[in-house]
Amino acid sequence: MWPLRTIAYFSLFWFGCLAALYNPIWGVVNYMAAYQSNPPVTWWGKPLADIGMRFSMLAASFTLVGLLTGRRKVPIVRPVLSLWELCVIGLVLVATLNTLIGVGYGPAARGSFDKFWKLQLFVLIIARLATTRRNLNLVLWTLVLGSLQMGYDAYTAPASAFWKGRLTSFGGSDINTSSTAAAHLTAMLPIIGVVYMCTRSWFWKLAALASGAFTVNAIVLCRTRSAFIGVACGALAAIVMAPRARRFRIHAMLIIGGLMALSLTDNHYWERIGTLTQAETFEEDYAAVSRFDIWLASVGMMSDYPLGVGLGNFTKMIGSYDVRYANRSPHNTIILCFTELGIVGGLLFLMLIAESFRLIFRCYRIASQSEEDIKSKLLVYGMLVSLVSYFVAGLGTERFSCESYWWILVLPLCLHRIVVSEMTAKAEMPALARQQIEDWDMAPMPAFRHGY
């Protein structure tokens, strides 16, 4: 008989698939949950692996069908294609072209391209569906609870999951190494924080608190320098950009959270982080030295292939520029994009990132005209800090083909569409009706009696 946890997961997964036929946002939630857990690699998920189910593919398929069967639940957005989405489509077209004119369409290139266009298709689906407050809240809570699951898996990880004191094997298939998982969880911390502040129910506040605690502990167990720098830059952005209406509360939470996180660290953690400032130790660290050598070799690759070598071909080509690092990853998101998709693809990617930041700041400027002023500003704040954290962490590890990286990039577009639609509806409302609603909202509630 299957373990109870296996039965529960299997049942919830299929419930999500069926719910996606009624409302496709549940397909998005189902896909995100499967992405963060990856049950086939866990002890309780072995029965699921034995039956050969591809959870992500099934969740995505039901979501696509739900877009047709549940069309009444699909929000209407204007414009139909934003500049951000046009950049995504442009990247897919560049990737398609580079597949044809690159250095070869082998198994690695085939797998990378297949994953890339599917990834971008799902991102465009999120940009269409997570454009109401209810749908966006479902997506954010999926990230919060997914982080709780990953953090718990890290907390209960066996000794075999550690290598030289570092947690190296947990989380979904796309985020199952120390660097990738830590970078992902680094971006989740600000999301967890703002979800906690926007939630009124104490039960769900406790759930968010638990998620934050387990997430911080998992990041510490990974002992990853890129994540440490991402957290540091994110914390600086969190201090400087805190909304004025909640600044004192946010700063207090940051101090308390920082002290609690500090209590989870040990000497081994700080010895590894200390290599960032100790020149001799840093120069002897193979992982750190190899990064700089690979980045330097990547410059030659970009010079020889200005149109890119094609998705998945970086590891195939890097050995031609530095034989010591054959089949190695660049450990840098921007460099990987420029080398594989060329100058045009790299510029499109940078434009897309810049557009995400622009949408965030525009959301903040018009948040006062939305239905929920403070909540909108808090969401803007959380997304900004998350973007900064993930972008900086991505400079020390490759995240270009990571799905959660793109989720963080698309969230500002979703929030922007929500705020703009609310602002437009408010502006189109007749002045008299709008004044009556505002007067009603400000009027004291009558004291009702029980019974007659």
Which amino acid is residue 212, in one-letter code? G
**Residues 140, 83: one domain?**
yes
Cα Rg of the chain (Å, integer): 23
**Stated pTM of the model:** 0.89
Residue finishing a domain among 43, 74, 105? 74
Domain annotation covers residue 436: no
**Residues 257, 112: one domain?**
yes
- What is the Cα–Cα distance from 395 to 417, expressed in whole angstroms? 29
User: Which of these, 177, 262, 175, 168, lies nearest to 217 by C-alpha position?
Assistant: 262
Domain annotation covers residue 439: no
Which amino acid is residue 53, in one-letter code? M
Domain annotation covers residue 412: yes
Which amino acid is residue 322, in one-letter code? D
Domain annotation covers residue 338: yes
**Residues 322, 339: one domain?**
yes
Domain annotation covers residue 438: no
**Residues 121, 67: one domain?**
no
- What is the Cα–Cα distance from 44 to 33, expressed in whole angstroms? 16
Tell me which residue range forms the domain holding 337. 79-424
Evaluate whether 36 touches 58 at the Cβ level (below 8 Å).
no
Neighbours of 327 (CB within 10 A): 10
pLDDT digits (tens, 9 = 90+) for 229-259: 999 999 999 999 988 878 899 999 999 999 9
pLDDT of residue 441: 40
Domain annotation covers residue 431: no
Domain annotation covers residue 430: no
Domain annotation covers residue 3: yes
Residue finishing a domain among 53, 74, 95? 74
Q: Domain count of the chain? A: 2
**Residues 389, 323: one domain?**
yes
Evaluate whether 230 touches 186 at the Cβ level (below 8 Å).
yes
**Residues 160, 274: one domain?**
yes
Q: What are phi and psi of 171, to 5 degrees?
A: 85, -175
Per-residue pLDDT of the chain (452 residues; tens, 9 = 90+): 788 888 888 899 999 999 999 999 999 999 999 888 877 767 777 788 778 778 888 999 999 999 988 888 899 888 889 999 999 999 999 999 888 777 777 777 888 899 999 999 999 999 999 999 999 999 999 999 999 999 998 898 888 888 888 888 787 778 878 888 999 999 999 999 999 999 989 999 999 999 999 999 999 999 888 889 999 999 999 999 988 878 899 999 999 999 998 988 888 888 888 776 555 544 445 455 577 888 888 889 999 999 999 898 888 888 888 888 788 888 899 999 999 999 999 999 999 999 999 999 999 888 877 777 889 999 999 999 999 999 999 998 889 989 999 999 999 999 999 998 888 877 765 655 445 434 444 444 444 444 43
DSSP 162: E
Residue for token pair 């693809």: 345
pLDDT of residue 437: 38
**Residues 211, 277: one domain?**
yes
**Residues 11, 69: one domain?**
yes
pLDDT digits (tens, 9 = 90+) for 354-379: 999 999 999 988 887 777 788 999 99
pLDDT of residue 452: 30
**Residues 336, 190: one domain?**
yes
**Residues 114, 242: one domain?**
yes
**Residues 100, 35: one domain?**
no
Residue finishing a domain among 74, 106, 127? 74
Helices 107-129 and 25-37 pack at an angle, to 10 degrees, of 140
**Residues 87, 41: one domain?**
no
